[in-house]
Amino acid sequence: MSFGLGHGVPLDPAPGVVAISADELPPLPDSIISDPESGRLDPRAWFKEPGNRFELEIGSGKGAFLVQQADLEPNTNFLGIEWAGEFAAYTSDRIRRRQENANTHRNVRVMHSDAAQFLQWRCPDNIIDVLHLYFSDPWPKTKHHKKRVIQHQTMFDIWRCLKPGGELRVVTDHDDLWAWDEAHFEHWASDKNASEPTLAGPKIPEAPAKVRAFLDAREALPYERTSFAAPESAGEHELVGTNFERKFRKEGRSFNAGVLRKTGGTAN
């Protein structure tokens, strides 16, 4: 199905320049079966200035947040991960044109992929300063809840990939999704034992065995809750200023926002 995002003009995602190319992200090696870490590679190497701050957006959609914020922060590298191919191509094309016309946005790359899979199998430990998750798909039917981005496995992988002091920033308009997110956050940012059921809110799946063992063995809380502060690019009365926020705001919807900070340090 095409969304017609190119309006009849072919999109050019500029692989290797904006879109992450197959050379930059080769297939997972067979050794992944015996060595789950053998597929790791450092995404910061995909940028011209690999030593800069590194932020990642899950579900970058049409790229409004990336375009706005990367313009204000040229010394931060931004990677947008988007699993809908046409949206990934649209955002890449948008960035490519800015690079060619104004020589800006050299600090943005876009990957067409499932971000949860990328975090679990590819991303090394302690490299991300901020992970942005805005207006994530709510998948309202129970049989689809497993497709929601926030799961115990993803909470573990986000924790592992964030630098100490790094942040997961979340905004959603969807109350059921927020309750689901909060039920997970309770296990990661409060003293609740991983095996204890959540008292209020929805029933959520148990953590996979390895993640549960991590939660049960931990000596300190993996994350601490902190309040959400709008990024510089957000407009007046906006939390972030993404396409979905602007659309939903016109419809009069209300939003929930929160931040989890990885404990054990301060990212800079």
Contacts of 62 (CB under 8 A, 6+ apart): 5, 87, 90, 91, 94, 243
Residues tagged active-site? 137
| Helix, strand, coil tally for the chain in percent (to 5) | 35, 20, 50
Query: Please, which residue, 58 or 168, has the CB nearer to ligand SAM?
Result: 58
Site of interaction with ligand SAM (CB under 6 A): 58-61, 81-84, 87, 114-116, 134-137, 149, 242-245
Least Å distance, CB 264 to ligand SAM, is 26
Query: Please, which residue, 100 or 232, has the CB nearer to ligand SAM?
Result: 232
Is residue 103 within 8 A of residue 75, CB to CB? The reply is no
Is residue 260 within 8 A of residue 156, CB to CB? The reply is no
Least Å distance, CB 192 to ligand SAM, is 25
Least Å distance, CB 265 to ligand SAM, is 27
DSSP letter assigned to residue 36? T
Query: Please, which residue, 174 or 221, has the CB nearer to ligand SAM?
Result: 174
Number of neighbours of residue 30 by Cβ within 10 angstroms:
9
Q: Which residue number has the CB closest to ligand SAM? A: 59
